[in-house]
Chain A
Amino acid sequence: MPRPGFVLDVDKSTPPILFHHGEGFRLEKLPADRSRVIYPGEPLDALDDVEAEIQAALLNPLEMDPLPELLNPGMKLTIAFDDVSLPLPPMKRPDIRQRVIEAVLDMAAAAGVDDVHLIAALALHRRMTEDELRHAVGDRVYDAFAPQGALYNHDAEDPDNLAYLGETKHGEEVEINKRAAESDLLVYVNINIVSMDGGHKSTATGLASYRAIKHHHNVHTMEHSKSFMDRHNSELHHSNWRMGKVIADAGVKVFQIETTINNDTFGDALPMSVLAKREWEWTAKDRVSFIGMQQGLKRISGSTRRKIFQAHRAPYGVTSVTAGAIEPVHERTLQHCFDQHLVEVEGQTDILTMGLPYICPYNVNSIMNPILVMCLGLGYFFNMYRGKPLVREGGVLIMTHPTPWEFHPVHHPSYIDFFEQVLADTTDPKEIEQKWEKQFAEDEWYRHLYRTSYAYHGVHPFYMWYWGSHALKHLGRVIIVGGDKRAVHRLGFKAASTLNDAFEMAEDVVGRHPTITHLKNPPIVMADVK
């Protein structure tokens, strides 16, 4: 029986707590009697027979006819699937998308469907490489469809392959992939690693153009998404739901297949397995293994360290497969997510600490640059709450990460210019949005790289910054421990060498003897703050 997540009150006998620190780790002693640690739940039991569950979901969908009844020989079928940003880290083969897509195609084969396209729904993310596509959909599907040009990445800047479907009552334009819009059936295969994913967002964002996405990926929306992990209180999701209605009204029939995975991020094999254990339960073997890993990591170059970490594949277990109409499917999926991630927490804190790991949705097989550090900490981890933020308004956020001044030149070209040019000018999201966004979003060179190379869209670093705008507005100070000082200052944050130094610096903002809460993530945990 897996143990649920819980809140540990730190006392004198609490051992040092493991903090992720990019491609490394820190063991930090938290002050006794005023600190607490939010631990994630242990991995929920995985489904015994995933194939059987997929079959059951496809044959008994929610509020839709069984999938075989929606398939016929002359139809146009499109299968869209989540891109390389999910799950994190990538899962061991076979990926759940592959399993679901193969089951869908088996039914399509039985129905004699000829016209099938598969599209990686990557919105404004970088295109997936052949290896990444093969990992997601499997070699069989790739070899059957890619050579004919029937498996490809969505292109949000291809005017010939986008369909304008109308606008919402709020004036938001809806434009999505033309093939998906014109298909008799669009099957969307998703992985809900966190509660932000899925629902109408899958199609309304994943298959949309910049023209549509800009209506919800902006400072106003993000500041009013409290949090974007809580879909019912998220302006980001309200906007996507409105767009979903426009898509449905335009006659696009979506058969949504959502899946959830458990918290088995690090598996049972040492040394990675120790990262998921509670510190006081580390055995002698765990400790030796951890020390060995730390010493080993210290002695190798940064790029080798990155390669080792990026090669990790998580042995996630699948906890649910739900298919049918988008809204009922998503409600059920959210419940599965919350079952795994949600931990009840009493009240807010003065200082929130978090150890940032080596990966976020936008640096799979890539480099975690300073903008992504900001996005992971202030965007994703800060928003891992329901109810109220974990830290009080005006409180301090302390993150540990090396924050190197380093960028992937192929994946993140516009990030480099954003960092050098835009952040040197201002770090205020609203000012950045008004003054700089259009120039980057419409830049022909960035557009060319997005469409033909493996670059994120020119506007993407702006969205990363907006992602943290709710936190920026809420917090009194942000401190990064162990980061590159120049890079940290460019982000507009304070740099500290040690956690104790950071606590000292935080006291200037929140007063003496502040309360401290550490969000121990990953594996994923989400606070239900009362």
Chain B
Amino acid sequence: MADKKGLEKLASSVQKARAKVPPVRALVSQTSFPYRAPTTPLTVEPKPEEPTLLGHYDSDWARKLPARYARFFLTEGLVRPVIAGLAQPERKGLDRLADLEGPVIFAANHHSHLDAGLLITSLPEPYRHQVFAAAAADYFFDTRVKATASALVLNAIPIERTKVGRRSAEQAASLIDDGWSMIIFPEGGRSPDGWGQPFRGGAAYLAIKCDVPVVPIHLAGTGRILPKGKSRPKPQRTVVTFGTPLRPAEGERSQPFSDRIEAAVAALADEATTDWYSARRRAAAGETPTLAGPETGAWRRNWALTANRKTSSTTKRWPEL
């Protein structure tokens, strides 16, 4: 009996105490400036909000020391094992980078979201942890979460691909001048059908502006792992082929240089699907197959794409008897 009375007493005292505390909503409504945001006078045009997403996202924090450490562990501890499991990459042509010094622009073809991760984990030191990626502002920087993740994991900066803007180019140039190398996919987006798209002039423009070499790179196989439009990856073998660094010639303009970069990537694609000497023969004769593939109907383009895949082994299936 005594216990029951005690409990009732406790409940009533809690109720009394709660009645004394005002509800949160009431508290908020009662607070005033400066604890609350000021209201705008009706006669005054409100100041437009500073955009902080898309091309305006400020990713400087991602190059500060704590973020760099975090990225190092993410790259080596998460991205690398994931890429190794999904893409089983074979890396070729790294010897062509032996004489490189200072910042460079790595320009690759683009088939899949895996490309950036594959490329970063394929870069030799000292570039692997001193590189930033140029990422589409409208895709990677449209929400706060995606923007933060892109900046942290890929050290990405937003690049406008739907409108002409100086901000992106100036930010990229400034980072290159500070000694950072850059990863860029000059096609501007992932391939819609497995064939390449024409290269845009951004990589060439920046190389000329900053006087740095461009390393052409061909990525083969990522389009079969996670192509555009798919969300579930399917593990496949990939080949990353690094090309000889290209430098802009004296007085060369962006477009011709961009065409040279595209031709170099096409030659690497040829090398990856045939062999180096055959590719050099075709390059010398001006017969390197284009990245864009044959100008035919969709099924024939798909047909040609499957025909292009190199068989994995040169060993004979049957012994010669």
Contact = CB atoms under 8 A, between A and B. Distances in A.
- At the interface, is chain A mostly helix, strand, loop or mixed? helix
A145 B314 CA distance: 12
A15 B98 CA distance: 38
B284 A141 contact: no
A74 interface: no
A110 B95 CA distance: 23
Nearest to B99: A50
A110 B277 contact: no
B84 interface: no
A112 B92 contact: no
A261 to B, nearest CB: 14
B98 A112 contact: no
Contacts of A49: 99
Interface in A32-86: 49-51
A112 B314 CA distance: 25
Interface string A130-150: 000000001111011101000
A143 B98 contact: no
Nearest to A139: B92
Contacts of A145: 277
Nearest to A98: B95
A140 B99 contact: no
Which applies to chain B's interface (DSSP): helix, strand, loop or mixed? Answer: helix
Contacts of A297: none
Contact of B280 (A50, A92, A109, A138): A109
A93 interface: yes
B167 interface: no
Interface in B269-287: 271, 275-278, 280-281, 283-285
B294 interface: no
Contact of A138 (B95, B275, B283, B285): B95
Nearest to B244: A51
A252 interface: no
B98 A94 contact: yes
B271 A140 contact: yes
Contacts of A193: none
Contact of A112 (B99, B278, B283, B285): B285
A109 B95 contact: no
A272 interface: no
Contacts of B283: 109
A383 to B, nearest CB: 33
Nearest to A146: B314
B276 A144 contact: yes
Contacts of A314: none
B276 A112 contact: no
A106 interface: yes
Nearest to A110: B284
* Across the A-B interface, the 10 shortest Cβ-Cβ residue pairs: A140-B276, A109-B280, A94-B95, A144-B277, A144-B275, A110-B284, A147-B314, A144-B276, A109-B281, A109-B284
Given A93-B98, A139-B93, 6 more contacts: A49-B99, A51-B99, A92-B98, A105-B277, A111-B284, A139-B92
17 contacts: A49-B99, A50-B99, A93-B98, A94-B95, A98-B95, A105-B277, A109-B284, A110-B284, A112-B281, A139-B92, A140-B271, A140-B276, A141-B276, A143-B275, A144-B277, A144-B278, A147-B275
Interface of B: 92-93, 95-96, 98-99, 271, 275-278, 280-281, 283-285, 314
